[in-house]
Structure 1
């Protein structure tokens, strides 16, 4: 499998497409907005240059060659000859649910669909298709090219063949995986979203400013970044959507989003991608 479809050219889609192209895969990158695709290619070129700096020259590739392996398009029909699809659209069921029945008609019966999600049920998505055994979750971490491991999620009907296929793609991208079972939030976000949300509550309750909240995690616990810095990196809108999915799934008040988080997202303060979150960028 040397041709992989990537749906969604946002922060995660850009990272996944870049990682694939750097690893020698040909990529079909699909989004509904031409401007987003143009911006995505510019980001991929710049990020590929920076990636060499961060890896201190251990990985050598030509950014122009990386970009040449990525073909952008506005229509999912171009994915008809792809045997592996990675979907990265926003973490909202209303958006994701329309994609999979369409993909099911377009792609070969053998194609595997990987859902890049942090919270949404893989089994539920599989139920939208005629191939629930060929659906799995792959929760990539941001920034994708710099992370060595992903959280892979087995749905109720995901076959071992599908997991083996995904393992091959991930190995080609230079990644290991940790396989977990399908419950909303899985492991990483079921824990992480609570941590970030509670950190936001401490800011709202004026226990400490954002800088000191993050310093406690970095200097006392040895974390490389604090929960508010992590929230800004992920995107505070994504944090909010994930909490809403978790609250709806478990009906547990511990997942209730902090009002300050809702206010910041309403104000467009979504973190790094918007230039302002708990910090200025």
Structure 2
């Protein structure tokens, strides 16, 4: 039987997941909710047969799975309410913005025993699987480290502007929204990381999020993760994550475009699919079914997401 799913939060990510859950035979969206009438109406047009509930609690009632695409701060209360009701929980990242609060959330989710995962979109993707397998087989030689380069002309990007909270320091910013994905990926390859130093840059308005970040992290063996992220200037989006090895290095651009170099230019591993986002979401939803069923899966656990959050918030505070 299809997993009855409630969607809380109908902004960009909520509507994207609504679209792809409707295309997946393993799910049926039973109800959805957002405090914004505009977002609710947009979702209603996409799925006229799905109930738009009057409250989040009403939407969640009777669901097998609750997908939380709302901003980080209100997410904890909904996640714990779902867990108390014995419902599986799928949370958007970042897990939260206050580490102590997220520690409580993770502990309570683990104690509840309900299936729970966090939506780091690369978790079930081919790139992570390929690079992990290459590293384990020794095909990349000795691991040398990881480089992350993220640059944007503006933040939020044009397609994100409806999610106004993304531009504010309290919950938004590219470090939480984008670099968190690459930190998760790095820890799957290198193991736990720690921040050696970090220098964020902020605009004059203290309410606004970071405009740049330079940082160095290391794993237990001292292998470095180097980060350069910036906003500004006429340019196309650049999102690159490179796992460097002594024999070969693998680069992932735009979350899923994998290429390999043995010393010369980077060569694509495979032709890019027509819709990479659809492929990635399908893979995530396939593994989410395993999670809900209590079977082994590749999705990020809440505890993994908590470790990413610790790194993110430490870098945003800055460390000399």
Q: TM tier, shorter chain? A: 0.3 to 0.5
Q: TM-score, structure 1 length as denominator?
A: 0.45
Q: TM-score, structure 2 length as denominator?
A: 0.41
Q: Which has the higher helix share?
A: 1
